[in-house]
């Protein structure tokens, strides 16, 4: 199926105009309307992304792009121009009572999934990079990655999954938040390195960034 930029732009306009969830802090955030066979799926925007109008625009994003630069020699600018960046929830959920960012609830995830399904239908990704527990759980499902499961059970591996009706390879990554120490100590350090190695050697990555396999 030929890429339909007009239809993807319409979907993104619907996302930008969406006000379905009363408890979130807008505006909805999405990356540019580009053709890509790679999706990067995060949890939800933080409080800074709304001001800057793009996903992973603060300190966690800086660390995330450092990972890809180190593993694949791909700059943030090149990554943003080549990978379709989305999130399980498109708006900042606000703060929880303890002061941390609130995790999107089931209805918020469902509302956003309607947009996500259409994006997947239009782009038909081959590779999905799932960043953080919520993205991993949402994509792989409770049977593969339950709320009690450890990141060490999935990071460093590739999973074949059915994603909005299409077969995709899913590579989980930990969330790059500075509040998390998982990716800073073992086994997280080694598993993250393994996962990034799998990402940058995936056929979709090699095609996207026009890298010739040695």
Query: SS3 string of the chain?
Result: CCCCHHHHHHHHHHHHHCCCCCCCECCCCCCCCCCCCEEEEECCCCCCHHHHCCCCCCHHHHHHHHHHHHHHCCCHHHHHHHCEEEECCCCECCECCCCCECCCCHHHHHHHHHHHHHHHHHHCCCEEEEECHHHHHHHHCCCCCCCCCCHHHCCCCCEEEEECCEEEEEEEECCCCCCCCHHHCCCHHHHHHHHHHHHHCCHHHHHHCCCCCC
> What are the sequence ranges of the domains in the chain?
5-15+29-208
Please check the confidence at residue 211 and state whether its pLDDT lies above 90.
Answer: no
Please check the confidence at residue 213 and state whether its pLDDT lies above 70.
Answer: no
Cis check for the bond before 28: say yes or no (omega within 30 of 0): no
Model pLDDT, residue 214: 58
- Render pLDDT for 17-30 as a digit per residue (tens, 0 to 9): 999 999 999 999 99
- Give the pair of three-digit tokens for residue 172: 């989980």
Model pLDDT, residue 20: 98
Nearest to 28 by CA among 93, 106, 75, 76: 93
In CATH, what number does 5-15+29-208 get? 3.40.470.10
Burial class (CB in 10 A: 0-12, 13-18, 19+), 121: middle
Average pLDDT (51-71) is 96
Model pLDDT, residue 212: 73
- Render pLDDT for 145-187 as a digit per residue (tens, 0 to 9): 999 999 999 999 999 999 999 999 999 999 999 888 999 999 9
Please check the confidence at residue 69 and state whether its pLDDT lies above 70.
Answer: yes
Model pLDDT, residue 131: 98
More confident residue, 198 or 214: 198
- Predicted TM-score (pTM) of the model is 0.96
């Amino acid at each position: 199926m030929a890429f339909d930029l007009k239809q993807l732009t319409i979907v993104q306009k619907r996302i930008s105009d969406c006000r379905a969830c009363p408890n979130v802090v807008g505006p909805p955030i999405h990356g540019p309307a580009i053709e890509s066979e790679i999706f990067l799926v995060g949890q939800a925007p933080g409080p800074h992304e709304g001001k800057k109008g793009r996903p992973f625009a603060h300190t966690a994003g800086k660390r995330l792009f450092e990972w890809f630069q180190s593993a694949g020699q791909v700059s943030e600018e090149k990554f943003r121009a080549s990978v379709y960046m989305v999130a399980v929830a498109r708006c900042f959920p606000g703060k929880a009572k303890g002061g941390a960012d609130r995790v999107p609830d089931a209805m918020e995830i469902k509302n956003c999934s309607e947009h996500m399904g259409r994006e997947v239908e239009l782009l038909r990704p081959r590779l999905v990079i799932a960043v953080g527990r919520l993205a991993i759980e949402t994509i792989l499902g409770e049977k593969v990655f339950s709320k009690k499961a450890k990141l060490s059970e999935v990071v460093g591996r590739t999973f074949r999954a059915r994603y909005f009706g299409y077969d995709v390879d899913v590579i989980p990554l930990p969330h790059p938040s500075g509040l998390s120490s998982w990716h800073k100590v073992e086994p997280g350090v080694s598993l993250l390195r393994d996962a990034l190695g799998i990402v940058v050697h995936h056929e979709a990555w090699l095609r996207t960034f026009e890298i010739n396999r040695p």
